[in-house]
Structure 1
Amino acid sequence: MTAAAAETRSDTPDDTPAGGRTEGRARRGGRWIERWDPEDERFWRETGERVARRNLAFSVLCEHIGFSVWSLWSVMVLFMGPEYGIDPAGKFFLVAVPTLVGGVLRVPYTFAVARFGGRNWTVMSAAMLLVPTAMAAVVMEPGTSYGTFLLVAALAGVGGGNFASSMTNINSFYPLRKKGWALGLNAGGGNIGVPVIQLVGLLVIGTAGAAHPRIVLAVYVPLIVLAAVLAALFMDNLAPVTNDTGAALDAAREPHTWVMSLLYIGTFGSFIGYSFAFGLVLQNQFARTPLQAASLTFLGPLLGSLIRPVGGRLADRFGGARITLGTFVAMGLATGVVIYASAERSLPVFLAGFIALFVLSGLGNGSTYKMIPGIFQAKALRRGLAGEEAAVYGRRLSGAAMGLIGAVGALGGLAINLAFRQSFLVAGSGTPAFVSFLACYVVCGAVTWGVYLRPVVRGRRAGQGARAQARVVCEAAGPDGSDAAAGATEADGERGPAYAEV
């Protein structure tokens, strides 16, 4: 598609008269959208929604493949038999390295969207996935040194960075009222890349055998190329999303950024950490063969990925903080089941509890990410901003915060794999690691309640008292006292819980 054709597409928003072009649009070319106001319901209904959906679809595709490459080594280790000479602790560390690199890369990837444009960076980041995939094909054989495996596994971290840029980009396309569903769908579609590559690994092990890991890599090379080409053809850049390093500094100074980072460690850190470690736990604690482990490994990540948009939708309806708190309570209960099954070596009970953890972490992923734009929108309203000014403030800080929160949350996956490594080294099982995870969920649940829900409860109680007092004032003041009642109620609303809808 040529630039000229793209400029005249009927579903590309423009704020110029018919047939006209802005100076910026002419300078940048047809893949840049100069005007974007998703909070304007007419704009959204007439053109914005179509454009956002198209960009969301191809963002999901590229992020999906990015997640597959990021979790590549959770599959490759299943092919590593005794001839590779790597013990269980070494394998846990091998799958932890991409988690670390991907988490760190999420920070610069977040700001790359504003620097290069969402469409442009999606194309670039998708193409970069060819490097770790091709390198893995070169080194994946017995006799390769462990250091070489670590280096190549680290390259797979670029797939983890894709999540941050993709979420930041899609966050800018959608209005606040639809962010929970859109971000949940974008992330959920990406997360499915984890079970999909595990299913490909299962298919290869079940048909060609555990001696042919390169077949998995051969499947993904053409898919990476296809994703990059489609992104180049059908995605758009948003000109209003300009590079703003000050937003990163403001987001880093904001306490809510770090509170949400902790909560995201509990949800997404659990999801990605368990996804990478599940197969190794089954092999080392329950003596499953590579084929047996691969036949079970994909199920938890698949269900957790599919339910993530549901978590976002529930958060849109009931509030992200409420869903997140309920999720942490349920994750604590499921972890208790896993601890019992791990100690008793009961595989059926272990699988039931572990898969429940995946499903709950998926729900929590969707609800926590919904909270982020809601928090900063609430802060904008408390600062006295309104309308588009409040929306711009919220998008600016929430987009920057998403990169930081996503990076810290991904490092939770690193912590999980390191905890498993230490647990198997010391105790020969994963039970001590699960006990530490239970403690983490208790802390996360307490923080969710204390920071986002307890103020809501206290605010409502205070509001009831204020309204009762206002009624007394009305009765004493006579007919003119109605204004006093209204003022008291409005003041209570201003002072009330800022995060009731977060």
Structure 2
Amino acid sequence: MTAPAPTRRTGRWIEQWDPEDEGFWQATGERVARRNLWFSVLSEHIGFSVWAMWSVLVLFMGPEYGLTPADKFLLTSVVTLVGAAVRVPYTFAVAVFGGRNWTVISAALLLVPTIAAFVVMKPGTSFSTFLWIGLFAGIGGGNFASSMTNINAFFPLRKKGWALGLNAGGGNIGVAVIQLVTLAVIGANGGPRVLLGIYIPLILVAATLAALFMDNLSAVKNDTGAAKDAAKDAHTWIMSFLYIGTFGSFIGYSFAFGQVLTNQFGRTPLQAAYLTFVGPLLGSLIRPLGGWLADRYGGARISLYNYVAMAAATAVLVVASMRKSLPLFVTVFVILFVLSGLGNGSTYKMIPGIFQAKAVAKGLAGEEAARYGRRLSGASMGLIGAVGALGGVGINLAFRQSFLSYGSGTGAFVAFLAFYAACFVVTWAVYLRRSPSRSEATAAAEANAQLSYAEV
């Protein structure tokens, strides 16, 4: 086989890439793909850390900053909103600029909000300034979308589940890592600028390593037709709604957990930092298990039971919040993080099965059906990921309103309980309520083991 090699274009471009060819994969493909994966994980990980940075920076912002709890929740809402919105253009940027080139650019862009926060992070800075800096920090959330699009192209179908699961998990853990670093900084009597000063050189390292060791694939092209078809399909929006309940919960709680502990339970920033990292860490690590369970028992079934468990945990949180029981509150909140991680894996597992079932219903079979399913499921994942992240905005705004109205997060938890109940009803009504035609199509889709790549 011809080894991948740069062409006359500027940068590291690979013109010939066929990971489905076993000979090519064994000779050169796997080595190149793994190398790109590791540096992609690093860049995405730091992107998630920068995106989540304001969830911990607000812990440093005491009374001398003049911000109310509602102000802080609004600030983290803005960061989450931008992170969700930029996922769509970031998805298409890989084909426009090249995967390696865009990884360098997107990593370097993280310097803007990080250095800006370093400059303005002091008492006396206006709330509007913090909002603008937080807006720029949201771009870290877009790194996930471009990273997943890029790595998806490097691996053969049979390896995508492992590669994309590792890529997604490595990024998600950035939320827990930034909180762990915060714990170390606060414990050493450091301030917010120390935290920001740690990440500025790390961003430079990630951008430099991507430039030196990653590659662009000429074969990656934007399929605008598939994107339009996916946007017109009702299942894309149904799954977006369900993903709000899982990933939206994960990222929203990651941003809000520390603030709830400080505002409602009177924890100091150091005491809060000791607790906040546990949930995001476990939720990130358990995400692949949700995909594995969905492989084994069916994505819709696992998601259905998971929403029941999330609703039950939230009901206990309402009780813990009303009784101001910190041990019960923290324990159940961590369990809710774990359940959101499981749900992230199981809901994404549903996507290829759904479009494969539609292919079967259209009378397609074999590779033609698989190609149809891959095309639409791949296009829909970018939209679903973006809309799902908007759930984090809703969670922070719900907490903001709850603290304004009731002085605690209890009202927000009641709203989340109702939303998880709605997710349960939609999952059952659309994907598990049996009819002869749906049963036949679903069985055919679940029988296709090749679709196991959609673990993310």
Tell me whether the two structures share a fold, i.e. TM-score over 0.5.
yes
Distance in 2, matches of 1:43 and 1:325, equals: 41
Q: Any conservation in 2 of the 1:111–1:400 contact (CA below 8 Å)? A: no
Distance in 2, matches of 1:38 and 1:389, equals: 19
1:237 to 197, 216, 222: 216
Is 1:222 the equivalent of 2:168?
Answer: no
Distance in 1, matches of 2:371 and 2:426, equals: 28
Structure 1 residues 80, 414: closer, same or farther in 2, change over 3 A?
Answer: same
Measured against aligned partners, the alpha-carbon deviations of 1:126-178 in whole angstroms (never above 9, x if no partner) come to 11101000000000000000000000011001101111111222233334444
2:347 to 339, 362, 368: 368
Range with greater deviation from structure 2 (433-442 or 270-279) = 433-442
Per the alignment, in what secondary structure is the counterpart of residue 240 of structure 1? coil
Indicate the residue corresponding to 2:69 in structure 1. Answer: 88
Distance in 1, matches of 2:17 and 2:374, equals: 12
Per the alignment, in what secondary structure is the counterpart of residue 192 of structure 1? helix
Indicate the residue corresponding to 2:454 in structure 1. Answer: none
Indicate the residue corresponding to 2:387 in structure 1. Answer: 408
Deviation at 1:64, TM superposition (A): 0.5
Structure 1: give runs of 5+ residues left out of the alignment: 1-9, 15-20, 463-492
Indicate the residue corresponding to 2:133 in structure 1. Answer: 152
Indicate the residue corresponding to 1:106 in structure 2. Answer: 87
Structure 1 residues 244, 459: closer, same or farther in 2, change over 3 A?
Answer: closer
Structure 1 residues 377, 459: closer, same or farther in 2, change over 3 A?
Answer: closer
Measured against aligned partners, the alpha-carbon deviations of 1:105-140 in whole angstroms (never above 9, x if no partner) come to 111111111212222211111111010000000000
Distance in 1, matches of 2:354 and 2:26, equals: 25
Indicate the residue corresponding to 1:433 in structure 2. Answer: 412
1:194 partner letter = V
Per the alignment, in what secondary structure is the counterpart of residue 100 of structure 1? helix
Kindly, what percent of the aligned residue pairs are identical?
73
Is 1:500 the equivalent of 2:418?
Answer: no
Per the alignment, in what secondary structure is the counterpart of residue 331 of structure 1? helix
Larger relative contact order (C-alpha < 8 A, sep ≥ 6)? 2
1:118 to 99, 105, 109: 99
Indicate the residue corresponding to 2:422 in structure 1. Answer: 443
Indicate the residue corresponding to 2:312 in structure 1. Answer: 333
Indicate the residue corresponding to 2:303 in structure 1. Answer: 324
Structure 1 residues 30, 112: closer, same or farther in 2, change over 3 A?
Answer: closer
Deviation at 1:202, TM superposition (A): 1.3
1:172 partner letter = A
Measured against aligned partners, the alpha-carbon deviations of 1:439-469 in whole angstroms (never above 9, x if no partner) come to 11111122222222334x7569x7xxxxxxx
1:238 partner letter = L
Q: Any conservation in 2 of the 1:183–1:309 contact (CA below 8 Å)? A: no
Deviation at 1:236, TM superposition (A): 2.4
2:207 partner letter = A
Distance in 2, matches of 1:40 and 1:52, equals: 14
Range with greater deviation from structure 2 (91-100 or 246-255) = 246-255
Is 1:263 the equivalent of 2:242?
Answer: yes
Structure 1 residues 348, 77: closer, same or farther in 2, change over 3 A?
Answer: same
Distance in 2, matches of 1:180 and 1:234, equals: 23
Deviation at 1:45, TM superposition (A): 4.8
Q: Any conservation in 2 of the 1:177–1:316 contact (CA below 8 Å)? A: no
Per the alignment, in what secondary structure is the counterpart of residue 157 of structure 1? helix
Please tell me whether Structure 1 or Structure 2 has the larger radius of gyration of its CA atoms: 1
Indicate the residue corresponding to 2:274 in structure 1. Answer: 295
Structure 1 residues 234, 389: closer, same or farther in 2, change over 3 A?
Answer: farther
Distance in 2, matches of 1:46 and 1:390, equals: 30
Q: Any conservation in 2 of the 1:176–1:373 contact (CA below 8 Å)? A: no
Indicate the residue corresponding to 2:251 in structure 1. Answer: 272
Distance in 1, matches of 2:66 and 2:127, equals: 9
Q: CA RMSD in A?
A: 2.4
Structure 1 residues 90, 30: closer, same or farther in 2, change over 3 A?
Answer: closer
Structure 1 residues 390, 458: closer, same or farther in 2, change over 3 A?
Answer: closer
Structure 1 residues 30, 88: closer, same or farther in 2, change over 3 A?
Answer: closer
Structure 1 residues 233, 387: closer, same or farther in 2, change over 3 A?
Answer: farther
Indicate the residue corresponding to 1:489 in structure 2. Answer: none
Structure 1 residues 33, 408: closer, same or farther in 2, change over 3 A?
Answer: same
Per the alignment, in what secondary structure is the counterpart of residue 313 of structure 1? helix
Indicate the residue corresponding to 2:78 in structure 1. Answer: 97
Distance in 1, matches of 2:244 and 2:359, equals: 26
Indicate the residue corresponding to 2:59 in structure 1. Answer: 78
Distance in 2, matches of 1:448 and 1:50, equals: 40
Is 1:132 the equivalent of 2:105?
Answer: no
Deviation at 1:276, TM superposition (A): 0.2
1:64-75 map, 5 Å: 64-75=45-56
Q: Any conservation in 1 of the 2:357–2:442 contact (CA below 8 Å)? A: no
Q: Any conservation in 1 of the 2:354–2:442 contact (CA below 8 Å)? A: no
Structure 1 residues 401, 297: closer, same or farther in 2, change over 3 A?
Answer: same
Measured against aligned partners, the alpha-carbon deviations of 1:281-327 in whole angstroms (never above 9, x if no partner) come to 00111111111111111111111111112222333333322322222
1:360 partner letter = L
Distance in 2, matches of 1:360 and 1:149, equals: 32
Indicate the residue corresponding to 2:185 in structure 1. Answer: 204
> Scaled by the length of structure 1, what TM-score is found?
0.83
Is 1:191 the equivalent of 2:191?
Answer: no
Q: Any conservation in 2 of the 1:179–1:370 contact (CA below 8 Å)? A: no
Per the alignment, in what secondary structure is the counterpart of residue 26 of structure 1? coil
Deviation at 1:255, TM superposition (A): 1.2
Distance in 1, matches of 2:166 and 2:397, equals: 30
Indicate the residue corresponding to 1:486 in structure 2. Answer: none
Per the alignment, in what secondary structure is the counterpart of residue 71 of structure 1? helix
Deviation at 1:499, TM superposition (A): 4.2
2:68 partner letter = D
Q: Any conservation in 2 of the 1:109–1:403 contact (CA below 8 Å)? A: no
1:55 to 36, 44, 50: 36
Per the alignment, in what secondary structure is the counterpart of residue 408 of structure 2? coil
